Chain A
Amino acid sequence: MMRERWGSKLGVILAVAGSAIGLGNFLRFPGVAAANGGGAFLIPYFVALLLLGVPLMWVEWTIGRFGGGFGHSTAPGAFHTMANKNRFVKYFGVIGIFGPIVIYIYYVYIESWLLGYSVFAATGMYSDCTTKEAIKGFLDNYLGGEGTHFGSFWPAYGFFLATFLANTAVVYFGVRAGIERVCKIAMPALLILATVLVVRVFTLGTPDAAHPENNVSNGMGFLWNPDWSALVDADAWQRVRSGTGGLGARLNDCLHVLKSDIWLAAAGQIFFTLSVGIGAILTYASYLRKEDDVALAGLTSASANTFAEVILGGSIVIPAAFVFFGGAATREFARGGIFDLGFFAMPMVLQHVAFGNVFGFLWFFLLFIAGITSSISLAQPAIAFLEDEFNLTKREAVAIFAISTFILCHASVFGGSAVIGELDFWAVNFCLVSFALLEAILFAWVFGMQRAWTELHSGSDITIPGVYRFIIKYVTPLFLLAILGTWAYQELGKTLLMEGADPASRSARVLTRILLLMLLAILCFLVWAVWKRRKGESAEVAP
């Protein structure tokens, strides 16, 4: 079967950037930055970008292209080939298919809300919701089907169907005619929509004459003014400078000068925003040829994502909320997370400006575009696995994937926030970090740094500084271990025991975990069956 290929270098970069640029760029980054020292957050953010994000981009692009050279577009096959056909390592690669499917089954549903909200914004359906409680009630009404705005659940289900079909149609047309073509249109469109919104926010002025301090400049300051106390422990620094205490105490002070929270928050943000550790970039890179560049392409996609996040994402929702609600309320919205900022703060803000319906539509459609370019990348690993390892046609692979995920998506559609939260927790916090750690260890330690470095530079358009040999081998895995260790220490026990969870949601959470374990077991079985069949075929061919 003829292997699919990207049509152009820019096409694959836009596709990977589209995969990386998602809701987190416009909603998560501003909230995390504002809560972690503002401008001071940018220091650990850039350090994490250089030590964690960019190296992992290179690792995943290189593993993907390497696996593609042997006809494997997904992690089980790529890992198996890189680890000299070790019999166990392919099962670790299952996470690179499992993780994207799990994210896909709730991400598509949330994406459908954005499509729905862009229609509601354009038609002014929530224009009577002027308070946070009212706009929150609108979302609850939309999802629950009981209330003044929606009489049934069918509108939400209709938008879910439309979004699901749109995703299926894109992946059905394949890598070049589907994903690449859509991203070549969607990414410039996203840039234009975001720029229009940034310009609108920057021209908001001072709407409330009674509060002249609530202006755009101070709104940007809310995000950018550095709060050094978030970065440095002033007391520990003072003790280090004065040189008081014994050797042990001084060493302890030195270790505590930099606060770990902000560094971990920055590492987490970089990690999640770049879409590394999912397996999607690995699959995208597998459609490259051996002589195609991955070093510059990986850096370009990381740069595009950072541009969308810091410059565009940082200039819309936080300054807009600050201008209309002031610092205290904006802090509350930021603490509430991406839903509070995206679904509550922005619609309320845009109702106060001229042509608010139009700007509301642009806002939600921008998020929808960011969402769909990410979700199609989540669909591709499972489809590629079926095509490559089972020799299915594109049509057959897409049909199996669409039917399976359509059924699975209903767990999110009808399970509510408990199910979505459970899926998100295991997929994002556990699968992504674990998979990235496996990739980094496999690349630098199992495949071997010398071979990995040569493979990374094969066909490269840039020369990567030699210091990155050290960073990829030691610093990146340690960074990932720190994130995984902190997560396990702070969250794992509590989540496993469902501490603090609503008692009514416990059965839904348990069922979700059983569903996840079953899905993981099925994928492991499929990998086992493929390799068993392959072994049997080679035994028949051998004399």
Chain B
Amino acid sequence: MTWQGWIFLLAGWSVIVLMLVFCLYRTLRGGAGKPGDTPPRDA
């Protein structure tokens, strides 16, 4: 693999992993003032 290939691989993978980690972190932590991965909030 060329050095350009490595750059694309590392950059692409990094962006995707960071995006997924950010999303999962916010999802599991919950929004501001809202509970995270919780059961239904109404009856």
Contact = CB atoms under 8 A, between A and B. Distances in A.
The CB with the most chain B CB atoms within 10 A, among A13, A289, A291, A461, is that of: A461
Interface in A224-278: 224-226
Nearest to A215: B1
B23 A300 contact: yes
Interface string A292-307: 0100110110011011
Interface in B17-42: 17, 19-20, 23-24, 26-28, 30-32, 34, 36-42
A9 B8 contact: no
Contacts of B19: 299, 303, 306
A145 B34 CA distance: 57
Interface residues of B, number: 31
Interface stretch (A38-46, A78-86, A346-354, A525-533): A38-46
Contacts of B30: 9, 461
Given A10-B27, A217-B1, A460-B31, 12 more contacts: A10-B28, A39-B5, A39-B8, A39-B9, A220-B5, A225-B2, A225-B5, A226-B8, A300-B26, A303-B19, A303-B23, A310-B16
Contacts of A299: 19, 23
A13 B30 CA distance: 13
Interface residues of A, number: 36
Contacts of A195: none
A291 B1 contact: no
Interface string A104-136: 000000000000000000000000000000000
A8 interface: yes
Contact of A461 (B13, B34, B39): B34
A289 B41 contact: yes
Contact of B5 (A13, A226, A303, A459): A226
A433 B15 CA distance: 27
A233 to B, nearest CB: 19
Nearest to A8: B37
B41 to A, nearest CB: 7
Given A9-B38, A289-B40, A306-B16, A39 B4 contact: yes
Contact of B1 (A224, A303, A304, A310): A224
Nearest to B19: A303
A297 B24 CA distance: 9
A448 interface: no
A310 B15 CA distance: 11
Given A7-B39, A9-B37, A300 B1 contact: no
A208 to B, nearest CB: 18
Contacts of A461: 26-27, 30-32, 34
A7 B40 contact: yes
A307 B31 contact: no
29 contacts: A5-B40, A6-B40, A7-B40, A9-B27, A9-B30, A9-B38, A10-B28, A39-B4, A39-B8, A42-B8, A46-B12, A221-B2, A224-B5, A224-B6, A225-B2, A226-B4, A289-B40, A293-B31, A296-B23, A296-B27, A297-B27, A300-B20, A304-B20, A306-B16, A307-B20, A310-B12, A459-B34, A461-B26, A461-B27
A79 B18 CA distance: 35
A103 B6 CA distance: 38
B1 A311 contact: no
A253 B28 CA distance: 49
A462 interface: yes
B17 A311 contact: yes
Top 4 A-B pairs, shortest CB-CB distance:
A221-B1, A461-B31, A39-B8, A300-B23
Nearest to A299: B23
B13 A225 contact: no
Contacts of B26: 296, 300, 461-462
A310 B14 CA distance: 11
Nearest to A43: B8
A8 B36 CA distance: 9
B4 A10 contact: no
Contacts of A306: 16, 19-20
A206 interface: no
B27 A289 contact: no
Interface string A1-33: 000011111100100000000000000000000
A218 interface: yes
Contacts of A40: 8
Contact of A303 (B8, B12, B16): B16
B16 A13 contact: no
A319 B1 CA distance: 11
Contacts of B4: 39, 225-226
B9 to A, nearest CB: 5
A517 to B, nearest CB: 41
A42 B1 CA distance: 16
Contacts of B27: 9-10, 13, 296-297, 300, 461
Contacts of A46: 12, 15
Given A226-B8, A461-B34, A307 B17 contact: yes
A306 B20 CA distance: 9
A310 B13 contact: yes
